[in-house]
């Protein structure tokens, strides 16, 4: 979805009422300035051109102080995002007590079965049933951590490329534009979260630890909608999803570095953004001056992406890292859940394939988030990751398999997903020097943090 689409239904300072000065004659209608107020007739570009653009934009946005949506203290207007998400959800029926009890029973049963499939202990402290509104309330803080680095970089990177003279000319307009950008970002985020809140099945459904630590949350309405198109009994679908949620929590609770690594990958993606500075000059050369006084033309101008960051090699690396980690998480969950439920719930394999395809294609909300933040939160090599974890389990057992999660340097890389044999051979062939060293270093770090390390040696 484009920025202009997110702005279309909101009063982003674009007054729909009549402009009392619109029909007044210009002071000098016959002058060149009256016919072309910015002097863009030639191909040249100088700082005075840019200054006049900023001045005209400033006039247009001068009424933006009355924009709705609540206060904005960062790069994204999250009050507006929450408001729009809640509006799109509409009325929410209370969840019946028997449904909440059924979810608690399903999580408890799943935890018992998972104990036999992984040495990682249970990571859930309670099980809850969430409405879409509950999902918004309990995940928005994590969305802030995901979106802030990207939005901040998008808001500042193009401005930082301007010459010092241009930044001085921009003055208060820069802050005004930042506010407008924060509202546009909040608008799109709110619409995306509102849609996602009705699509997700659990709190970890997109592979990230969005909710509170240790809280296993299932979404009864979305699960019911999923079950309508499947042949499996609803009780089995509920238990299968409870097992997936519980397995995710085992990883996120007992692999302490995992959550921060995921968020760091998003931050690295944001920091890699660059802007083509020639877009600023193109703005000055090719802009239709009437666009600066016509709201509809201004919206069209903003939608053309002249300030959109360009993909960089750093971003490609960060995105591959994030996608690999998501695939490893989802592949491990699928392997563990299949081992725990496969003999008990006949439809486990079919349900796993349904969810794999569901994640692989992504829904409208995920596509909106990809457009908004530039990231597609999808594990592109989920099947390869599940194959690697299964083959590793067959080769070395569950204990050695899950020991790989002790340190990020021990995890398979993107190349290992394509060629898992080499990674598995390193584990079963005794070539574990790198793994042993990483574990030893991890132990030293823990001893240092706890103050239990060995005393310094006197020379």
Confidence of residue 416 (pLDDT cuts 50, 70, 90): very high
Residues, the chain: 459
Domain count, the chain: 1
Give the integer Cα–Cα distance in Å for 226 and 217. 16
Position with higher pLDDT, 317 vs 336 = 336
The answer to whether residue 252 sits within a structural domain is yes
Q: What is the pTM of this model?
A: 0.73
Tell me how far CA of residue 308 lies from CA of 91, 159, 368, 373, in angstroms: 36, 12, 16, 11
Give the integer Cα–Cα distance in Å for 79 and 404. 41
Confidence of residue 275 (pLDDT cuts 50, 70, 90): low
The answer to whether residue 150 sits within a structural domain is yes
The answer to whether residue 198 sits within a structural domain is yes
Position with higher pLDDT, 131 vs 366 = 131
pLDDT of residue 369: 59
Token duo for residue 130: 């969430």
- For 423-433, what is each residue's pLDDT tens digit? 998 888 755 55
Domain that holds residue 116: 76-274+340-355
The answer to whether residue 42 sits within a structural domain is no
The answer to whether residue 140 sits within a structural domain is yes
Contact by Cβ (8 Å): 183, 210 = no
CB under 8 Å, gap of 24 or more: what pairs does 62-71 form?
Answer: 63/13, 63/15, 64/12, 64/13, 64/176, 64/179, 64/180, 66/13, 67/11, 67/12, 67/13, 67/179, 67/183, 68/10, 68/11, 69/10, 69/183, 69/186
Confidence of residue 216 (pLDDT cuts 50, 70, 90): very high
What average pLDDT does range 369-387 have in this prediction? 74
Tell me how far CA of residue 341 lies from CA of 74, 93, 335, 356, in angstroms: 45, 32, 10, 17
Token duo for residue 299: 């919206």
Structural element, H or E, at residue 133: helix 132-160
- For 53-109, what is each residue's pLDDT tens digit? 555 544 444 433 334 444 556 778 899 999 999 999 999 999 999 999 999 999 999
Residue 299 has pLDDT above 80, yes or no: no
Token duo for residue 236: 């089995």
What average pLDDT does range 264-286 have in this prediction? 64
What average pLDDT does range 116-128 have in this prediction? 96
pLDDT of residue 204: 93
The answer to whether residue 148 sits within a structural domain is yes
State the number of CA atoms in the 13 A half-sphere of 270 facing the CB: 21
The answer to whether residue 436 sits within a structural domain is no
The answer to whether residue 95 sits within a structural domain is yes
Contact by Cβ (8 Å): 159, 166 = no
What is the separation, in whole angstroms, between the first and last Cα of the chain? 66
């Amino acid at each position: 979805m484009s920025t202009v689409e997110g702005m279309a239904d909101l009063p982003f300072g674009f007054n729909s009422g009549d402009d009392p000065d619109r029909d007044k004659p210009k002071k000098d209608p016959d002058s060149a300035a009256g016919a072309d107020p910015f002097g863009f007739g030639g191909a040249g570009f100088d700082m005075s051109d840019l200054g006049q653009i900023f001045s005209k934009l400033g006039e247009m946005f001068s009424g933006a102080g009355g924009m709705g949506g609540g206060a904005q203290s960062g790069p994204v207007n999250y009050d507006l995002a929450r408001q729009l998400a809640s509006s799109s959800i509409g009325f929410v029926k209370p969840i019946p007590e028997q449904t909440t009890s059924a979810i608690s029973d399903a999580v408890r049963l799943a935890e018992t079965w998972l104990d036999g499939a992984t040495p990682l202990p249970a990571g859930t402290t309670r099980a809850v049933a969430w409405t879409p509104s509950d999902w918004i309330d309990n995940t928005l803080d994590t969305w802030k951590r995901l979106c802030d680095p990207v939005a901040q970089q998008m808001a500042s990177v193009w401005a930082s490329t301007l010459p010092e003279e241009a930044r001085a000319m921009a003055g208060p307009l820069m802050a005004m534009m930042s506010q407008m950008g924060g509202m546009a970002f909040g608008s799109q985020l709110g619409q995306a979260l509102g849609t996602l809140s009705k699509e997700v099945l659990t709190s970890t459904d997109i592979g990230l630890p969005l909710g509170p630590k240790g809280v296993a949350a299932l979404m009864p309405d979305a699960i019911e909608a999923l079950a309508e198109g499947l042949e499996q009994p609803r009780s089995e679908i509920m238990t299968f999803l409870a097992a997936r949620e519980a397995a995710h929590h085992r990883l996120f609770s007992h692999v302490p570095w995992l959550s921060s690594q995921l968020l760091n990958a998003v931050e690295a993606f944001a920091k890699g953004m660059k802007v083509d500075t020639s877009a600023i000059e193109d703005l000055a050369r090719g802009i239709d001056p009437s666009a600066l006084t016509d709201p509809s033309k201004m919206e069209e101008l903003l939608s053309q992406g002249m300030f959109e960051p360009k993909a960089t090699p750093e971003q490609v690396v960060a995105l591959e890292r994030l996608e690999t980690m998501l695939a490893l998480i989802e592949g491990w969950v699928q392997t563990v859940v299949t081992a725990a439920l496969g003999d008990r719930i006949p439809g486990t394999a079919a349900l796993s394939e349904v969810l794999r395809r569901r994640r692989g294609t992504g829904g409208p909300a995920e596509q909106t988030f990809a457009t908004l933040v530039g990231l597609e939160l999808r594990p592109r090599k989920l099947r390869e990751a599940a194959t690697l974890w299964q083959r590793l389990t067959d080769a070395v057992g569950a204990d050695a398999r899950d020991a790989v999660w002790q340190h990020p340097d021990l995890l398979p890389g993107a190349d290992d997903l394509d060629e898992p044999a080499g990674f598995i051979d390193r584990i079963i062939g005794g070539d574990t020097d790198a793994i042993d060293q990483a574990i030893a270093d991890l132990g030293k770090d823990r001893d240092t943090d706890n103050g239990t390390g060995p005393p310094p040696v006197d020379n």
